[in-house]
């Protein structure tokens, strides 16, 4: 049985819309495997509803299925057998039948548009002429973020101004995703999260009774498993030139994070690579990062690119380079590489998770949190409050050694290179450690109210 975990806020939003007396046209979108379909199914449970999954069949074939579904719901044998000629007929039929609240959920709406470019215009007309005055809750859901925006959300889209609400469904946070494995320790779950991130479909593949290595072999390395070809499938499904995008993702995953480095590594033309990067950002596979103190991040020349999707990062490290070995089920070399450098990926994940931990601690209000760096220095975490001129500096250490006072003193030294409101700011410091802290650092924190210590994800009360 599938687990449905931690979408309480989204379900609450949908149910509040359902409770209102007005007709609803709700847009739900987000990357593949993020859990949109499960959210819809949870929402429509125990409600009068019809769920339809769009695909790449002809419009005629899809309308036959819509007819079968609606005909079955309304006990209309004629419609169930014959279907509809076009979408306007569907909307006219619903207007003639609906007397009470009803959910009509259309999943993977972009496929309808792909098959028939006029689909959104027909839905606009259908809403205006037939649906906007009847007790309907129409859900349009899709994985193609750019198409959902262009067809339903942006000013130029046919359905602009008709929607009554929208949710961009994002991957689960670390603490939300941890609920899939409530018996796992913080350290053990961080290993899982480093591979799967907050993607429910990926988390469900992990068997908690197997070791990490056994899970990787059985669920990822084996060519018959869906995760083995997942990244290639997504790119082929979403993009016309997957090879070029693969080259960019590989370059970033292997440490080429600056714009010029990506161009040199891929050999792609400078005038087209920016478009490719934008598309990958839109697919939520990569993100552009700038030092947290930058006033105009979009214009900053300090921007670097990094893989934002955890499984994509893992796949390019341990699957993509070893496709030939994995094809004949030779796992020794990729497993050796995994054991050798997976702790580095864990440390990067811990850095990101520490931002979430900081948010949960509520030590002070901040408007931005992220990394900071210049040519010579780097700080794992900094959080700023411009109004109060407060800044917090942090380091995250994922090692088997307790963190000592030398790390704190080094952080204080590095903080002096940060120019943000220098000489006119209140500074605080926070240290995160997998393995705790030395006695002298704990003693130092006890005397310094502006120094906080976090072991794993728990704040130490010094």
pLDDT, tens digit (0-9, with 9 covering 90-100), for 280-312: 998 899 999 999 999 999 999 999 999 999 999
Q: Where among 145, 168, 191 does a domain terminate? A: 168
Assign 271 a pLDDT band (cuts: 50, 70, 90): confident
49 and 114, same domain (yes or no): yes
**Mean predicted confidence (pLDDT) in 199-210:** 96
Q: Where among 117, 149, 168 does a domain terminate? A: 168
The distance in angstroms from the start CA to the end CA of the chain is 44
Measured between alpha carbons, how far is 203 from 178 in angstroms, rounded to an integer? 10
Of all residues in the chain, the percent with pLDDT exceeding 90 is: 90
**What's the pLDDT at 444?**
96
Does position 129 have pLDDT exceeding 50, yes or no?
yes
Q: Where among 293, 315, 349 does a domain terminate? A: 349
Does position 379 have pLDDT exceeding 90, yes or no?
yes
What letter does residue 386 receive in the DSSP assignment? T
With tokens 């300090």, the residue in question is 302
Measured between alpha carbons, how far is 224 from 229 in angstroms, rounded to an integer? 9
80 and 35, same domain (yes or no): yes
**What's the pLDDT at 266?**
95
142 and 21, same domain (yes or no): yes
Of all residues in the chain, the percent with pLDDT exceeding 70 is: 99
Structural domain contains residue 186: yes
Structural domain contains residue 210: yes
CATH number at residue 146: 3.40.50.300
**Which one, of 453, 457, 428, 460, lies nearest residue 354 by Cα?**
457
113 and 184, same domain (yes or no): no
Structural domain contains residue 274: yes
Does position 198 have pLDDT exceeding 60, yes or no?
yes
Assign 3 a pLDDT band (cuts: 50, 70, 90): low
267 and 372, same domain (yes or no): no
Structural domain contains residue 354: no
193 and 311, same domain (yes or no): yes
Does position 1 have pLDDT exceeding 50, yes or no?
no
Does position 150 have pLDDT exceeding 90, yes or no?
no
249 and 197, same domain (yes or no): yes
**What's the pLDDT at 241?**
83
Does position 153 have pLDDT exceeding 90, yes or no?
no
**Mean predicted confidence (pLDDT) in 179-197:** 97
**Which residues fall within 8 angstroms of residue 35, CB to CB, at 6 or more apart?**
7, 169, 172, 199, 200, 201
**What's the pLDDT at 462?**
63
323 and 427, same domain (yes or no): no
With tokens 């005629």, the residue in question is 60
Question: Distance of CA 32 to CAs 119, 143, 253, 305, Å?
Answer: 22, 5, 20, 21
141 and 222, same domain (yes or no): no
- Quote the domain boundaries for residue 428: 362-459
Does position 102 have pLDDT exceeding 50, yes or no?
yes
**Which one, of 229, 452, 187, lies nearest residue 319 by Cα?**
229
140 and 215, same domain (yes or no): no
321 and 366, same domain (yes or no): no
pLDDT tens digit string along 39-58? Answer: 999 999 999 999 999 999 99
Does position 110 have pLDDT exceeding 90, yes or no?
yes
> Strand 24-29's sheet: what is its strand order?
49-53, 102-107, 136-142, 24-29, 165-168
Does position 207 have pLDDT exceeding 50, yes or no?
yes
49, 105 Cβ separation under 8 angstroms: yes
- For the whole model, what pTM was predicted? 0.93
205 and 284, same domain (yes or no): yes
Does position 438 have pLDDT exceeding 70, yes or no?
yes
**Mean predicted confidence (pLDDT) in 229-241:** 89
**Mean predicted confidence (pLDDT) in 179-204:** 97
Measured between alpha carbons, how far is 202 from 41 in angstroms, rounded to an integer? 19
Structural domain contains residue 21: yes
Question: What one-character-per-residue DSSP string does 257-317 give?
Answer: -SHHHHHHHH---HHHHHHHHHHHHHTTSEEEE--TT-S-GGG-TT-EEEE-SHHHHHHHH
Domain count within the chain: 3
């Amino acid at each position: 049985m599938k687990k449905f975990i931690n979408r309480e806020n989204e379900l609450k939003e949908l149910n509040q819309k359902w409770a209102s007396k007005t007709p609803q046209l709700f847009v739900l979108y987000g990357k593949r495997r993020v859990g949109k379909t499960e959210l819809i199914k949870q929402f429509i449970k125990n409600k009068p509803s019809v769920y339809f999954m769009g695909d790449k069949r002809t419009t005629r074939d899809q309308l036959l299925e819509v007819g079968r579904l609606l005909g079955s719901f309304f006990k209309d044998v004629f419609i169930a057998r014959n279907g509809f000629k076009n979408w306007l007929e569907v909307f006219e039929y619903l207007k003639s039948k609906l007397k009470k609240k009803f959910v009509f959920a259309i999943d993977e709406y972009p496929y309808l548009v792909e098959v028939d470019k006029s689909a959104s215009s027909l839905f606009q007309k259908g809403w205006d002429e037939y649906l906007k005055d009847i007790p309907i809750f129409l859900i349009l859901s899709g994985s193609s973020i750019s198409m959902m925006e262009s067809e339903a959300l942006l000013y130029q889209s046919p359905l602009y101004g008709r929607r009554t609400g929208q949710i961009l469904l994002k991957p689960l946070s670390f603490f939300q995703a941890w609920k899939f494995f409530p018996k796992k320790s913080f350290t053990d779950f961080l290993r899982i999260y480093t591979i799967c991130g907050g993607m429910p479909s990926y988390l469900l593949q992990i068997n908690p009774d197997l070791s990490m290595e056994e899970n990787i072999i059985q669920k990822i390395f084996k060519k018959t498993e869906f995760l083995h070809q997942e990244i290639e499938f997504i790119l082929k499904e979403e993009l016309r030139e997957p090879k070029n995008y693969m080259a960019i993702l590989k370059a970033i995953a292997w440490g080429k994070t600056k714009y010029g480095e990506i161009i040199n590594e891929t050999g792609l033309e400078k005038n087209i690579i920016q478009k490719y990067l934008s598309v990958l950002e839109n697919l939520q596979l990569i993100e552009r990062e700038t030092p947290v103190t930058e006033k105009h991040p979009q214009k900053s020349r300090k921007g670097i690119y990094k893989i934002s999707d955890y499984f994509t990062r893992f796949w390019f490290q341990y699957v993509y380079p070893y496709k030939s070995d994995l094809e004949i089920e030779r796992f020794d070399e990729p497993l050796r590489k995994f054991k050798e450098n997976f702790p580095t990926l864990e440390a990067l994940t811990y850095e990101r998770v520490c931002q979430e931990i900081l948010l949960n601690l509520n030590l002070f209000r901040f408007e931005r949190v992220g990394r900071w760096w210049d040519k010579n220095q780097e700080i794992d975490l900094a959080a700023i409050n411009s109004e109060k001129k407060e800044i917090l500096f942090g380091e995250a250490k994922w090692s088997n050694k307790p963190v000592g006072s030398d790390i704190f003193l080094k952080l204080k030294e590095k903080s002096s290179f940060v120019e943000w409101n220098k000489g006119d700011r209140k500074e605080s410091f926070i240290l995160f450690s997998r393995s705790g802290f030395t006695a002298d650092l704990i003693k130092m924190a006890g005397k310094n109210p502006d120094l906080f210590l976090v072991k794993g994800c728990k704040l130490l009360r010094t």
